[in-house]
Structure 1
C-alpha cells in the first residue's frame, strides 16, 4: 500500500512532526545559570573589596597607637560577626609597650580574662609561637591568608562539610620566612607560630584549660576566634580575640576577609608603634633636660605642668635657687621641633642657668648674654625667653622678656598681666636690649608663667587666647587659688578643654605657677 504524498505547492513546506521533549531545554539554560553564578560571585567580590576599602580607610585615619588598636578590634568584630573582643599588643622584640584594649569589655572583664594562664589563652599561644595544643584538624596555608575551616564551607573537592559546632580547635600556621626582625633574629630562627585559633564550642571542648572554661562561663561567651597580627619586618605584634555569645565560628569568607584586613592592620600598627616609641623617647629626653623637681624655697610654693608635643618641641622652664635666698625663674622656647630643637633647648637652658648664677639680679644682662651666645653659636635659630629674679622675703620680682608672653598675676584683689616691654625674640636682631620690669606680688598672690604653646593650642588669635587665659584664672575658686597645683590644673582644664589638650597639637605647653606666701 503506497503512502499518500502531499503535493508540492509553491511557498509551502511539508509538515515536520514535532520531536518529543528531551533534556535539551535544560542544557540550553545551563549557560544562563552559569552566567548568573558568575555575576553573583563578582557582586560578592565587589562587596568584599568595598568593605575592605572602607575599613582600611578608617584605619588609615587613626592618629595614634591606642586609637589604631581599637579600630582594628572594632573592624575585625564586624568582619567575623562578633560583639565583643580584646586585642593584646606584645611586640616580638620585647621593647614594649605591652597593652590590652577591649571591645564591649570593661577593665574588670579584661582582668578576669588575664587570669587564664598565658600559655592556655588563645592570644598567649599565638604570641608565644608555640603549637603544643594543635590537633589533627589543624591546617597549613602557604600564603598566610587563613584557609578553610572544617564545617564552615564546602571543600574545593566538593566533599561535605563537617559540623561547625564540633568541639575541636582549629589552627593555621604560616611557613617561616627569612625576614630580619627588629631584634636581629630572623623568622626562620623562631618556631613557626599559629595564625589563628578557633574555639567553636568552649563549654564542650575537650582538653580545654579549666580556668579558660570558667572565665568563658563567667563572662558569658561560648566561642572565640583569635588572629595573630604579624609583619615580616617586626615579627608578631599583637593578637586579637573576638568572642561569641553562643557556639559559632567564622565561615571561610569571613576568615579570608579578616586575614586580608589583618595584613594591612599589622603594617599600620607597626608604623604607629615605631612612631609611638620615637615620641616616647623624645619626650623622655626633653623631660630629662628639665628639672627633675622644683626647689624648695622659703616663702614660695611652686607647681609646673609640661606637656610635650608629638614631634618634641623646645619649650623649657627653670626654677633655680640663687645666693642670699633669691630665686631665678625662667620659661622659654626655641624655634622648630624634633631632636634638634630639644638639643638646642638643653643647651640654651644650661647657658641661662650659668648666666643666672653669675648676674641673676640683672635679668636684662642675663638675656643679653644668652642672645649673644645664641647668635654666635646657632645663628639660624631664634628663641623666646623670660627671666625673673625673685626675692621672696622682700616680695619683689625683677623680670625681663624677649618676645615672650606676659606673666599673669593672680590674687584676691587683682588678676592682671604684667606689662613687660615689647621686645624681639633672641637671635632676631643684631643686638638685643630691653628694660626690666619690677613687680611686687602681695602675700597670697600667684605669678603664672607660661609658653605660647598654651595659647596656640586654643586655635584662636593671640589676643583672644590671652582673654581666655585671663577668664580661666578669674573663674578659679578661692580654695583653688591658694594651691598652685590646683590652680595650674584648673587653668589647663579651662583654657584647653577636652579635644584641645591632646598630643595631636605640635605645640609644647609649659605652665609654671609660683605662689608667694
Structure 2
C-alpha cells in the first residue's frame, strides 16, 4: 500500500499578476553574530524585534492586495452577459484563487426549473463525460488526498486515476434566496487551500453568485419569450404543387413579429408577414391575435388582399386602439405563378432569380391603426419559373445597423450573390441571405427577424 501523501497548501496561482501597488515583502534580517573586532567569548548582540508599525504596514499591504485582486476578478465577472461565459469566467478566476489547474461547475438550480449543465475548465468533453459517471455526492465533496480517503467510491478513484487528479476543493454556489449549483477545482497532487484562500474564494463566489442569478433570470425570460412566440406561429409550412416554402425566424427580446402560410381554396396559397408596435409579452400576444384573425379573413376573402387588410385594420382599431401594426398579405396562385398583394406600411417583397433581383412595386400606405379608415390599392405581378419571393419584416433591415435605404440595398446585394447551385432550395437561399446580411452574431438589436422564402416552379 502506498503511504498517503502529505497534503499541500494551495495558494493563488502565480500566473495571476499581483497588483502594481502591492508593497514588496521586507528582506529577511541577517543573523546576528559577534562583531568582527570583539574579543573572544563575547556573546552575540540580541536581535531587536521588528517594530509594530512595520508589521501593521505589511498586513495592510496584504489586505490591499487581496481586495484589489477580488475587485479585478469581480469586474471581469460583471462584464459577462451570457450564462455560459460567466461560468467559464468563474472557473478561471477560482482556479487562480485556489491554485488549481482544472475545475468544473455542476449547474443545477434548486428550484428545478433548469437549465441544468456542466461546464469545465481545462477539461475536454470526454473528461466531463467520465466525471458525469462519478456519483454526484462523491464528486462534489472536498477531498485533500483521494488516495488516503477512506471509503472512496471505486468509480471516483478510477476516474481520478484516468484524468490524473489527486484532490478536489468543492464550494457551493448560492445566493441568500436560491441554490444554483456547485463549483469544484481539481489538483494534480494532494493539496487544499489554506484558511486565507478559502476566505478569498468564498468572498468572490458570493459576489459571482448574485451575478449568475441575474443571468439565469435573463436566460429563462428569453427562453420563455422564444417558446411563447414559437407557439403562436405555424408549427409547419404547407406543401402545395408548384411552390416550395422555407422560413427563418430569429426571436429578439422585444418580439411582436409574425408570419403565416396557409392553403386556400382553388389550390391557392396565402402568405403574410407583419409586426406590431411595442415590445414584450404584450406585443407577442397581440401579434398572435392578429395572425389568427388574418387567417380567418384570408379563408373568407383571400383573393382580395385589400379586403383582408381592411378587416384586420378595423379589428385592430376596435380591440387594441393603442397599437398599430405593419402587415403584408399575398394571395398566390402557384399554377399560374401569379401573386396579388397588399401592404400596410410594410417593406415590399424581393424577387430574385437567374435573370433579375428586384423589389416588387407596391403602393405606399400607412400602417394599420394609423388612419381612421385604411385602404390602399393592391398590386399584381407574375413570377418567372425558378424565381424566389422573399417576404421579411423590418427587423431584418434594422438589425444591420444601417439606414433603411442602405439596408434595402444590402439585402438586394445579398440576394444577387446567392450561388446558382443554391437557388433551387428556398431554405438555402434564406440561409445565404441571412449569413451575408447579418454575418456572425446577429444580435445587434432587439428586433425580431422573419424571412419567408417562396420558390415557384
Could you tell me which of 54, 66, 79 is aligned with 1:48? 66
Partner of 2:403: 461
Whole-Å Cα distance in 2 between the matches of residues 438 and 271 of structure 1? 51
Partner of 1:451: 393
Partner of 2:240: 297
Whole-Å Cα distance in 1 between the matches of residues 214 and 155 of structure 2? 35
Question: Greater CA radius of gyration, 1 or 2?
Answer: 1
Q: Are the structure 2 counterparts of residues 203 and 312 from structure 1 closer, same or farther at C-alpha, using a change threshold of 3 Å?
A: farther
Query: Runs of at least 4 residues of structure 1 off by over 3 A?
Result: 21-26, 203-206
Whole-Å Cα distance in 2 between the matches of residues 465 and 250 of structure 1? 56
Whole-Å Cα distance in 2 between the matches of residues 413 and 284 of structure 1? 40
- Measure how far apart 1:312 and its partner are: 4.0
Could you tell me which of 422, 425, 436 is aligned with 2:378? 436
- Measure how far apart 1:84 and its partner are: 1.8
Whole-Å Cα distance in 1 between the matches of residues 166 and 45 of structure 2? 51
Partner of 2:102: 84
- Which digits, 9 at most, give the CA deviation of each residue in 1:167-186, with x for residues without a partner? xxxxxxxxxxxxxxxxxxxx
Tell whether the 8 Å contact from 2:270 to 2:331 is kept in structure 1 after alignment.
Answer: yes
Could you tell me which of 336, 339, 342 is aligned with 1:397? 339
Whole-Å Cα distance in 2 between the matches of residues 477 and 337 of structure 1? 36
- Measure how far apart 1:347 and its partner are: 1.1
Taking structure 2 as the reference length, what is the TM-score of the superposition? Answer: 0.87
Q: Are the structure 2 counterparts of residues 25 and 220 from structure 1 closer, same or farther at C-alpha, using a change threshold of 3 Å?
A: closer
**Is 1:224 aligned with 2:168?**
yes
Partner of 1:489: 431
Whole-Å Cα distance in 2 between the matches of residues 301 and 516 of structure 1? 7
Partner of 1:516: 456
- Measure how far apart 1:283 and its partner are: 1.3
Tell whether the 8 Å contact from 2:270 to 2:298 is kept in structure 1 after alignment.
Answer: yes
Q: Are the structure 2 counterparts of residues 429 and 23 from structure 1 closer, same or farther at C-alpha, using a change threshold of 3 Å?
A: farther
- Which digits, 9 at most, give the CA deviation of each residue in 1:277-332, with x for residues without a partner? 222122111110111111111211111111111x3410000001111111100001
Whole-Å Cα distance in 1 between the matches of residues 144 and 326 of structure 2? 63
Deviates further, 262-271 or 312-321? 262-271
Whole-Å Cα distance in 2 between the matches of residues 211 and 43 of structure 1? 45
Whole-Å Cα distance in 2 between the matches of residues 73 and 413 of structure 1? 55
The alignment covers a number of residue pairs equal to: 416
Tell whether the 8 Å contact from 2:357 to 2:415 is kept in structure 1 after alignment.
Answer: yes
Tell whether the 8 Å contact from 2:258 to 2:274 is kept in structure 1 after alignment.
Answer: yes
- Which digits, 9 at most, give the CA deviation of each residue in 1:115-140, with x for residues without a partner? 21223222xxxxxxxxxxxxxxxxxx
Whole-Å Cα distance in 2 between the matches of residues 424 and 72 of structure 1? 51
- Measure how far apart 1:23 and its partner are: 12
Tell whether the 8 Å contact from 1:229 to 1:239 is kept in structure 2 after alignment.
Answer: yes
- Measure how far apart 1:247 and its partner are: 2.7
**Is 1:69 aligned with 2:11?**
no
Partner of 1:271: 214
RMSD: 2.0
- Which digits, 9 at most, give the CA deviation of each residue in 1:359-409, with x for residues without a partner? 111111111221122122212111111110000011000111111112111
Structure 1: gaps spanning 5 or more residues: 1-20, 123-196
- Which digits, 9 at most, give the CA deviation of each residue in 1:92-151, with x for residues without a partner? 1211110111112222221121121223222xxxxxxxxxxxxxxxxxxxxxxxxxxxxx
